[in-house]
């Protein structure tokens, strides 16, 4: 039996848990990319479709092709051009797919159990230093001379959501106007995070003011938006894409004369948000809820980058005074 219908069935089964569109797309992409490596290794010819494009490699592979040596070579080929984290994610997808094939009696054993993936390194957040954050903020508030259609008010609104709301880029892109409540005190924004988990983000008055300014300009340019319309839009009124947001954020860093942390653009602003919270006394469980982390261990990674704040908190412990030697009678 060819893998394509089985892959479609497995994805349909996993979709019953209502995953995010990004998760659904990632699963399909993970299955396809390894299938392409495997088809090339086995020299399987892929016919073209009606548009002249090769059909999915899943359509020319069968269950019998999924043995340990074949998959091991396919994963090795993928790993040669990708980060360890990407390889681990792809292997996880295939491990889950093979487990389902076993439950459906298509396989006897999981070949992924015999294949070692890259070791997981220590994850380190990438927050900005205070001077870098100030430089980027100034660039955001300044009209981009190289842009054909600059919109500083929109840029400042997006920047504010990152640095005072801790939003992921996809959360900012997917937020709808009806998710924003500027009439509450303080203002609030409902977002949907990883795994389709909703959370409510509290926004300070300064961010509320920035959003009101942006929305006023947007209404003047594009008319009154509906509640279902995206909160952040491009200059032509269309919804933002991830590549559009990355382009904006990359421009902020460029105009600020700063280099973004490796592998992080908008996410570095989210990391900065979390670091500032901890430095100013927020507890890890509080930051976990604000960021929408499923696991507290993810939030704990910020401890390693907030040394100054933690040192000050430790030195503020009043029990330290109990350790001081008693003063002689009559002394001050």
Active site residue 194: yes
Beta strands at 180-181 and 187-192: parallel, antiparallel or unpaired: antiparallel
Output the six-digit token pair for 97.
């797919």
Neighbours of 44 (CB within 10 A): 16
What is the CA angle 89-93-96, rounded to 5? 135
Q: Which of 48, 78, 51 has its CA nearest to residue 60? A: 48
Active site residue 89: no
User: Given 168, 212, 234, 254, which residue is catalytic?
Assistant: 168
Active site residue 168: yes
Strands (E) in 133-203, as ranges, are: 180-181, 187-192, 198-203
Q: Are 94 and 34 in contact (CB under 8 A)?
A: yes
User: Given 27, 154, 270, 271, which residue is catalytic?
Assistant: 270
User: Given 37, 218, 255, 293, which residue is catalytic?
Assistant: 293
User: Given 44, 89, 106, 194, which residue is catalytic?
Assistant: 194
Cα separation, 41 vs 36, whole angstroms: 9
User: Given 78, 214, 273, 302, which residue is catalytic?
Assistant: 302
Active site residue 302: yes
* DSSP SS3 for 16: helix
User: Given 88, 190, 199, 267, which residue is catalytic?
Assistant: 267
Active site residue 258: no
As annotated, the active-site residues are: 168, 194, 267, 270, 293, 302
């Amino acid at each position: 039996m060819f893998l394509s219908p089985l892959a479609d069935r497995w994805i349909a089964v996993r979709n019953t848990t209502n995953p995010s569109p990004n998760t659904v797309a990632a699963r399909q992409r993970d299955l396809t990319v390894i299938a392409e490596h495997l088809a090339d290794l086995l020299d399987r010819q892929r016919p073209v479709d009606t548009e002249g494009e090769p059909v999915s490699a899943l359509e020319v592979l069968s269950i019998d092709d999924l043995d340990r040596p074949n998959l091991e070579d396919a994963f090795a080929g993928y790993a040669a051009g990708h980060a360890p984290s990407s390889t681990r994610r792809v292997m996880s997808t295939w491990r889950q797919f093979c487990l389902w094939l076993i439950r459906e009696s298509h396989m006897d054993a999981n070949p992924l159990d015999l294949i070692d993936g890259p070791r997981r390194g220590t994850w380190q957040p990438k927050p900005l230093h205070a001077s870098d954050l100030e430089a980027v903020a100034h660039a955001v508030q300044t009209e981009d001379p190289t842009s054909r259609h600059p919109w500083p008010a929109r840029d400042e609104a997006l920047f504010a959501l990152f640095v005072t709301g801790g939003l992921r880029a996809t959360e900012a892109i997917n937020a709808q106007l009806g998710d924003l409540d500027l009439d509450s005190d303080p203002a609030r924004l409902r977002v949907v995070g990883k795994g389709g988990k909703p959370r409510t983000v509290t926004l300070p008055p300064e961010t509320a003011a920035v959003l009101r300014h942006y929305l006023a300009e947007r209404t003047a340019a594009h008319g009154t938006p509906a509640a279902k319309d995206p909160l952040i839009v491009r200059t032509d009124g269309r919804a933002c894409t991830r590549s559009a947001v990355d382009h904006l954020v990359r421009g902020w860093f460029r105009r600020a004369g700063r280099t973004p942390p490796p592998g992080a653009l908008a996410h570095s602003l989210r990391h900065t948000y979390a670091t500032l919270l901890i430095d100013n006394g927020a507890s890890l469980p509080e930051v976990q809820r604000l960021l929408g982390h499923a696991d507290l261990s993810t939030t704990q990674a910020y401890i390693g980058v907030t040394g100054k704040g933690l040192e000050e908190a430790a030195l503020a412990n009043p029990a330290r005074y109990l350790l001081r030697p008693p003063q002689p009678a009559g002394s001050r």
